[in-house]
């Protein structure tokens, strides 16, 4: 029983007793105290147990996205390739390799096409930008953030 509940029951007994004494209404003070105490204990005992359970905290804002359940290793590799020390050619080569891996994964997962085994079918699905990326190593020489975003979006949309 919480201190607040005990305080409420004691306050009810005291107020009832004070009212009876000041108005001189005559019922037995001890009997009234016992009745109020019994009602208070009955109310406390029959309240739901969940009232004492801690409430889960609400998210700070409904627009917050939950953290991803598992990191996308391909995206991490792209970030590492962009931020890693090394030459511009080294970065471009690593980014191209990661993008081609994403393209191959999407072709195989979504369409059941192995690019190496069925190059014609893959060529038809990829479109000009992704075909150039896959077949021309120099296609990433002048890779801007906007073009990288467009290539990645096209690869994910396969």
* Predicted pLDDT of residue 61: 54
Please give the C-alpha separations between residue 3 and each of 43, 49, 86, 115, in angstroms, as whole numbers: 15, 16, 67, 72
**Cα–Cα dist 93/88, whole Å:** 9
pLDDT bucket at 58, cuts 50 / 70 / 90: low
Please give the C-alpha separations between residue 126 and each of 73, 110, 122, 132, 151, in angstroms, as whole numbers: 23, 13, 6, 9, 10
Counting residues of the chain whose pLDDT is more than 70, the rounded percentage is 72
Is the overall model pTM greater than 0.75, yes or no?
Answer: no
Taking alpha carbons only, the member of 104, 102, 99 closest to residue 118 is: 104
For residues 146, 152, 157 and 158, what is the CA-based torsion angle, rounded to 10 degrees?
A: 130
Of 81 and 21, more confident: 21
Counting residues of the chain whose pLDDT is more than 90, the rounded percentage is 0
**Cα–Cα dist 113/125, whole Å:** 10
Is it the case that residue 70 has pLDDT exceeding 50?
no
């Amino acid at each position: 029983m919480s201190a607040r509940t005990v305080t409420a029951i004691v306050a009810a007994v005291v107020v009832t007793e004070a009212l009876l004494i000041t108005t001189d209404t005559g019922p037995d003070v001890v009997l009234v105290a016992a009745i109020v105490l019994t009602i208070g204990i009955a109310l406390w005992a029959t309240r739901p147990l969940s009232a004492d359970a801690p409430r889960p905290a609400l998210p700070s804002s409904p627009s917050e996205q939950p953290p991803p359940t598992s990191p996308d290793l391909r995206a991490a590799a792209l970030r590492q390739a962009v931020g890693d020390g090394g030459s511009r050619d080294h970065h471009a080569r690593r980014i191209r390799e990661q993008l081609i891996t994403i393209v191959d994964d999407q072709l195989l997962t979504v369409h059941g096409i192995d690019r190496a085994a069925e190059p014609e079918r893959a060529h038809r699905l990829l479109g000009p930008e992704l075909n150039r990326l896959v077949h021309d190593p120099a296609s990433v020489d002048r890779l801007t953030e906007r073009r990288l975003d467009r290539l990645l979006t096209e690869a994910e949309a396969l």
